[in-house]
Structure 1
């Protein structure tokens, strides 16, 4: 079953998008909503009908639509403004399109939902989120200890793809309950240089161990180490893994105009991401010594999330929505565990400290409908999950203030087009702490994203 599921889903994803990668799309690695309806309303989606995309937040919302079938096809496109400044020298490294691996960033949305009088189910494929950077090989980030230029890349791309299979049941006229089981695929590309001071700090803290440690220490003028596992392909990544996740949820109609909702998204259960990699030792006298081998990123999970929501219709034209969420990053991301084994059997295990904090998010939105048009606007505000003393230049997932706008247009009685625009306001964070940075850095990150979808419905 696993082989068939993987083959069919990856085939659908490849057919739906020619180039897939993620920038830092939301608070940490997640989108501001899934689909343009939720996206335009600040990411709220727990207590009103957002169509088939509702299975990504609260599967019980599948019961809020009219009986019939629904096909959903859409895409997110992300435009980033990201730079890393060396505060000691004033140099800057900007994340740009240095290869075919990154930018502009796009992610697919595909789903099918069926609703009967009391029962609904759906299946889809959605990018849950990710992070992507591309600093090239000529910036200060590619300079080893002592100012030695290496000409080696610094970049990243993390993509998480969810394939939910969801069901919802209308237990009473007021109460609906739903659940989903999600197949989850996660892929990571990474090119990262660690200076000799960073390697030394990791060893001194007991965060780097293995038979390659004395080999690196035995070099006459060791300046750093560079780790690389990257594929310049639309979805396939240098290291990847499959696993599962899920959601449970409910909606309760307080009245015909007011709905309450709640959902719980399970922490993922992903296998370790594995792939082929190259570890390059940089020495001031010997030069670059490359070791080919296998990489393993251990226990890298997406966090659990608890959502509460409310929606209220004042009349046929005006609706307001709100969600409050708690995202349990602290349990999911304490360290990034990296294990490299060379083809000769020598190994090094590195634990990069992260110590994420749990996060609280508030999403607010308002919608106005007139004729065939629906205008939407919203905002999302979150607490900061990352810590400044552990933030990495290649994983700068720091934006936490968002403004959203969008619209929907009823093309025909059975079809509609929806659009959303999200602006992530600029966030600045500094880090001058070993082992995650050698040079003192200042991260400045803002971005915009566009989401659009075409929906076709077959009413019963």
Structure 2
């Protein structure tokens, strides 16, 4: 499977090569919009033509394009600033200045569409979402429950790449319908230290099982357990899997100035993520005991979503958009199931609580045309996804309020550049529990993200 993964992603070409350092947390695990046009308008895309990236939200919008072909090439640039503070000791660690893969991070966007008569076809490759952190090996996150330094890394990287094959049909002058069938690849890197008190909490909750549990119990002074499956490689991860997804959409012109859109995005059907791993038992007497083996993350999926949108032309050169979406996180991330099997056949199974909640997202955007320029702005607000008690500092999913702006500039009658800047307003949350954190931890996070596309019509 890993051989096929490298080959398939390699066929996507140079744009995906830029994703080697991709690691951030966004709206849950998802990006807050696809393509610079949508991102600059708060991620709105359900009831307007946002270019080839429309196939990632509502494929019916592809029918809004004129006869011909469109090609777009671009990238997301993500800069996240995450600070974690141990509320017991006062120690702090910042993600932005630690580790080998610290930001800014880059993710791909490439797409191609053809409009012929009443039909539109498209194919692309986009980063569907991801998250990540780099805390290095010398912060309080790398200390065992006793406070003893372990020198072990704490980091994460999740990349989900969506490859949609889109189709849209213009039923009449007012109504278009569309659909996609998507190939989806997900790759995860993880270095995670659980203190002995965290392991004890998981055991007490019935969330740990397997023959290796007895082995850990025989150690004289267990101080923690570290799980690592990471590959420093631009086109692969420590554990990965392929799967499928898809979406259905419609676009309806309610009047000369108003268009309504709706879309349902199916949740992914990914195989279990698998890869080589090392489980290290950290003991104050026996030292560090690494155990090589295989890791499997069971049924780790991206959620389904349902959205409705409306775009209204206030004047010939000015339009506003509103999208409302519901993302069904609760169906896919109640727990994270991690299984480890040693080369000798012993196993350890962890069920890590997450208790994600369904998320409601409201996005508004505006675009104003003046000469060769289109100026855009927007705002996006989402409800919180994960409860405070289940926050993981290596799996942050905190941003909920996003301001955005951007522009398009027409280079010629056939080409233009699109740019967007979005700022995830700082959010401050604390986890008071000791299952997902050794001590109570306060997390603050903000982001400055950019999108740049080149679009060609021919």
1:100/1:233 contact within 8 Å kept: no
Residue ranges of structure 1 left out of the alignment (5+ in a row): none
1:121 aligns with 2:142: no
Q: Where do residues 200-219 of structure 1 align in structure 2 (5 Å cutoff)?
A: 200-219=200-219
In the TM superposition, residue 130 of structure 1 has moved relative to its aligned partner by: 0.4
Instruction: Write the deviation string for residues 282-303 of structure 1: whole angstroms up to 9, x where unpaired.
Output: 0001100000000000000000
Counterpart contact for 1:97–1:104, Cα < 8 Å = no
Provide Cα deviations, 1:17-75, integer angstroms capped at 9, x if missing partner: 33434343531111111000000000000000011100000000000111100011000
Cα distance change on mapping 1:14 and 1:298 into 2, 3 Å: farther
Match of 2:233 in 1: 233
Corresponding residue for 2:363?
363
| Contiguous gaps of at least 5 residues in structure 2 | none
Q: How many equivalent pairs are there? A: 458
Contact 1:9 1:163 in 2 (8 A): no
* Whole-angstrom CA distance in 2 between matches of 1:51 and 1:220: 62
Secondary structure of 1:148's counterpart equals coil
Name the residue aligned to 2:172.
172
Instruction: Give distance in 2, aligned partners of 1:321 and 1:23.
Output: 30
8 Å contact from structure 1 (residues 22, 129) kept in 2: no
Q: Secondary structure at the match of 1:63?
A: helix
Residues 21-420 of structure 1: matches in 2 within 5 Å? 21-420=21-420
Question: In 2, Cα distance between the equivalents of 1:387 and 1:100?
Answer: 30
1:11 is displaced (CA, Å) by: 2.7
Distance 1:6 1:413, change over 3 A: same
Larger deviation, residues 434-443 vs 295-304: 434-443
Q: 1:399 to 1:15 in 2, by over 3 A?
A: closer
Q: Deviations over 1:75-120 (max 9, x none)?
A: 0000111011001111001103544334221101000000112100
When residues 113 and 365 of structure 1 are mapped into structure 2, their CA distance, relative to the original with a 3 A threshold, is same
Distance, in Å, in 2 between the alignment partners of 1:293 and 1:5 is: 21
**Where does 1:430-445 land on structure 2 (aligned, <5 Å)?**
430-445=430-445
User: What is the deviation of 1:5?
Assistant: 8.9
Task: Find the aligned partners of 1:181 and 1:3 in 2 and give their Cα distance.
Answer: 23
Structure 2: distance between partners of 1:230 and 1:277? 8
Q: Distance in 2 between matches of 1:242 and 1:23?
A: 19
CA contact (8 A) 1:307 1:326 kept: yes
Normalised by the length of structure 2, the TM-score is 0.98
Q: Distance in 2 between matches of 1:417 and 1:14?
A: 19
Taking the aligned partners of 1:424 and 1:258, their CA distance within structure 2 comes to 30
CA drift at 1:386? 0.9
CA distance in 1, matches of 2:388, 2:48: 36
What is the distance in 1 between the residues matched to 2:109 and 2:154? 29
Tell me how large the CA RMSD over aligned residues is.
Answer: 1.5
**For each residue in 1:136-162, what CA deviation from the matched residue of structure 2 results, as whole angstroms up to 9, or x when unmatched?**
000000000111110000000000000
C-alpha separation in 2, matches of 1:4 and 1:387: 37
Distance 2:209 2:356 in 1: 23
User: Post-superposition shift, 1:181?
Assistant: 0.4
SS in 1 for 2:96: coil
